[in-house]
Amino acid sequence: MKGSPATWKVWGNEVMLNRLWAVMPGAPETPAARLVIDCDAWDGYPAHKHELLSYLKEQGIHNVVAISGDLHAFQCGVVRDNPAPASGTPVIVDFVCAGISSTSPSIPT
């Protein structure tokens, strides 16, 4: 990716980079209260995820898009270099794609 002249760098990735966390009900928003929902994705390998995101950021590699899967749902999000929610520098965009027969969970309104 570093030597690529392409405007967009597309990475086919097996599992999602986006966070899939929950906070224990009634708990204050602290790292200890966060629950990782899917340890089989990059959230389960925080040191490796940090190394990857740091490399992209330090090398000035921009416009990186990951096409991920294995979640059985569709979602998209910006992946930041800081594990704290909504903080840090955006580094990569992750598009999570499911099989055509999969549906994303519906959230009641």
- Give the separation between CA 98 and CA 75, rounded to whole angstroms: 9
Residue 4, pLDDT above cutoff 90: yes
Structurally, the chain folds into a number of domains equal to: 1
User: Is 107 a member of any domain?
Assistant: no
pLDDT of the residue at 52: 93
User: Is 1 a member of any domain?
Assistant: no
User: Is 2 a member of any domain?
Assistant: no
User: Is 109 a member of any domain?
Assistant: no
Q: Which domain holds residue 47?
A: 9-96
Kindly report, residue by residue over 45-104, the tens digit of the pLDDT.
889 999 999 999 999 999 999 998 877 778 889 999 886 667 888 999 999 888 777 666
User: Is 103 a member of any domain?
Assistant: no
Residue 38, pLDDT above cutoff 70: yes
40: helix, strand or coil: coil
User: Is 48 a member of any domain?
Assistant: yes
Q: What is the mean pLDDT of residues 27-48?
A: 78
User: Is 58 a member of any domain?
Assistant: yes
**b/e 13-29 (16+ beta carbons within 10 angstroms → b):** bebbbbbbeeeeeeeee
pLDDT of the residue at 108: 54
User: Is 3 a member of any domain?
Assistant: no
**b/e 44-70 (16+ beta carbons within 10 angstroms → b):** eeeeebeebbeebbeeebeebebebbe
pLDDT of the residue at 102: 66
56: helix, strand or coil: helix
- Give the separation between CA 38 and CA 12, rounded to whole angstroms: 19
